[in-house]
Structure 1
Amino acid sequence: MEPVLFYGVPHGCSFGSIVALEWLGQPYRLHRIDMLSKRSEGFARVSPLGQTPAMIAPDGKPLTESLAILHNIAARGLDKGLGFAQGTREFDDLNWMLSYLHTTLHSDLGYGWNAYKLDEDDHAGKAFLRRLAREKSAEAYAYLQGVLEGREWLAGNTKTVADAYFIGIARWGEDLGLFDIARDFPGIHRHMARLEADPAVIFAHAIEDETPHRSSGGFCGQLTAQDLDARLAA
């Protein structure tokens, strides 16, 4: 049975998993999770921590965490260059890049999102977290900009799941009002612009925004809450 990806809105890092599934081109379904609303019992069975992305994998078992899901997708897309065989240097490079994006860029920008979780009148706390997000993520953006000098993609000679994950989280620098990416990191901006023109990225934006969309991959439709319950009961 086709896998089901649970993606979070607004602007979740699960965006990258949608892009990767589109690049894979195999049948899949999506299930929308509003991260600002109460989670359903069905989603809790797939993701007990209530985090996205989460996936009902092709074998019917739950899979959580971006890196695990992206590696699952990559392993099914070796023929397309989305990933590489484990044990190769190319796999190590991809795994390193995914880890850097997750543990550094994602985490650094996360300080900015955490500022919104503080009490409304905690101005000092909010300012501290935003400053921390800006200072730390600036280093990450600058480092990644250096990586992109002289190469077209983040991890190899073709686009991989690392580029898919990148486009889902690199946008946060402007979402949070921390940077003008085009001005502050022109190399990052060029890579983002290239990805933004990709049909899979355009599709993922339309899915998030609930606007008319056209899949260039294997999208089979959204799974309703009722469909999810039936799928989990099977």
Structure 2
Amino acid sequence: MKLYFSPGTCSLSPHIALREAGLEFDLERVHLGTKKTRSGADFTLINPKGYVPALEIEGGEVLTEGPAIVQYIADRRPESGLAPPAGTLGRYRLQEWLNFIGTELHKQFAPLFKPRAPDEQKSAARATLGQRFGYVAQRLDGATYLLGEQFTVADGYLFTVLTWTRFAGVDLGG
């Protein structure tokens, strides 16, 4: 397997999952401005969407989109506990969290990383993120991880977006 990544991006989430699963993999850094890999390849030929993460798997297939990638990784090592078994309520709770993190947290950071975004848009994003992180804090009250006492790929994704809060000026109320 090969993970295409760029520092400071959401590609940290599958990187965490790969390490936690104990899987062997290679890393290939992508310059998002030029869309070139460190080895000089045109990244858009690997992932036509042009962004990371992308995971090259068996047979040269490429998976994109972080939540799909981390579930694939978890399913390669079910004994790791990184995801509950498929078809269980626990798995649907995992998907619920991955979707929440992706749509209600991750995407809210977009204007905060764009220097030309209007200040009103940035203020609105920070306010929304404050509310959404408040919900996460409430759900974590008394729990070690999002799904209870077991670290899952959702926790790795949450950690990833939490690392952006300081840079983006998001107040977590602490």
| TM-score when normalising by structure 2 | 0.91
Matched, 1:30 2:31: no
Deviation at 1:8, TM superposition (A): 1.5
**For residues 86 and 15 of structure 1, what CA distance do their matches in structure 2 show?**
24
Q: Which runs of 5+ in 1 are unaligned?
A: 119-124, 187-234
Q: Which amino acid aligns with 1:103?
A: T
Matched, 1:142 2:142: no
Deviation at 1:59, TM superposition (A): 3.8
Q: Which amino acid aligns with 2:89?
A: R
**For residues 150 and 101 of structure 2, what CA distance do their matches in structure 1 show?**
18
What residue number does 2:147 align with? 155
Corresponding pairs, count: 171
Kindly report which structure 2 residues correspond to 1:201-212, keeping only aligned pairs within 5 A, or say none: none
Deviation at 1:60, TM superposition (A): 2.4
What residue number does 1:44 align with? 44
Deviation at 1:58, TM superposition (A): 3.0
Deviation at 1:178, TM superposition (A): 2.7
| TM-score when normalising by structure 1 | 0.69
1:175 to 152, 167, 170: 167
Matched, 1:20 2:17: yes
**For residues 139 and 53 of structure 1, what CA distance do their matches in structure 2 show?**
27
Secondary structure of 2:58's match? coil
Secondary structure of 1:102's match? helix
RCO higher in 1 or 2 (8 Å CA, sep ≥ 6)? 1
Q: Is the 8 A contact 2:130 2:170 kept in 1?
A: no
Question: Looking at CA atoms only, which structure, 1 or 2, has the larger radius of gyration?
Answer: 1
Q: Is the 8 A contact 2:35 2:50 kept in 1?
A: no
**For residues 38 and 62 of structure 1, what CA distance do their matches in structure 2 show?**
16
Q: Which runs of 5+ in 2 are unaligned?
A: none
What residue number does 1:214 align with? none
Per-residue CA deviation, residues 105-133 of structure 1 (Å, 9 max, x unaligned), is 001122212x32x2xxxxxx531121011
